Structures are given as C-alpha cells and as structure tokens.
Amino acid sequence: MTPEIKEKIDNLVNQNKILVFMKGTKLMPQCGFSNNVVQILNTLGVPFETINVLDDYEIRQGIKEYSNWPTIPQVYVDGQFVGGSDILIELYQKGELQQMVEVALAS
C-alpha cells in the first residue's frame, strides 16, 4: 500500500464516527455480507458512512492491508476496526454493538 492510500484511508476512518468499507452503497449493497452490515446499522438507527470499494481498486486492496483483515465489508467505529459481517452480527446479537456506537457518537 502506498503512503498516499494509507493517508487517504486514515483520513476516511478518522473523519467518520461509523464507517463501512463495502461492496456497493448503503442504498444498494452489492453483496450479501455488505447488506447484512447495512441492515444492522439501519436497525440501530445510527448515522454511518460507506465507501464503495468497487469504485476504487487501490482502496479495495489497501483496506485489507490497512486492517490486516482479508475480506470486505469492514466496519470502523470511532477510528477503530471492529470487524466484518460475522463479527457485527455477533456484537449486535450480544447487545454490544449498540453500546459501542452510542459511546462513539457521544464522544
């Protein structure tokens, strides 16, 4: 990953309280896993931003290296990598995700 791509990802992650790197957009997810994440965040009723990795090959590859996580979607809350679809589902079912996003949005 180039320093420019790392800086671009750093800026995106730090400028958004809740950010999802995904295939497609929150209005039109392009894969089932991305759709799962969007549905969970919509259910929580929290504001979040998405980055469509299909629009930018460098971000699509760079985000995997950035987080050391091989798959998309990737969710960041308050600048911290949370995980992908499976982890988000688990956190949501345990009630931990709601608490995590409330703390992030309050800070």
Instruction: Dump pLDDT digits (tens) for 70-83.
Output: 999 999 999 999 99
| pTM attached to this predicted model | 0.95
d(CA 5, CA 55): 14
The whole-number pLDDT of residue 107 equals 84
Q: Return the higher-pLDDT residue of 2 and 107.
A: 2
Nearest to 37 by CA among 73, 71, 68: 73
The CATH number covering residue 51 comes to: 3.40.30.10
User: Which domain range does residue 20 map to?
Assistant: 3-106
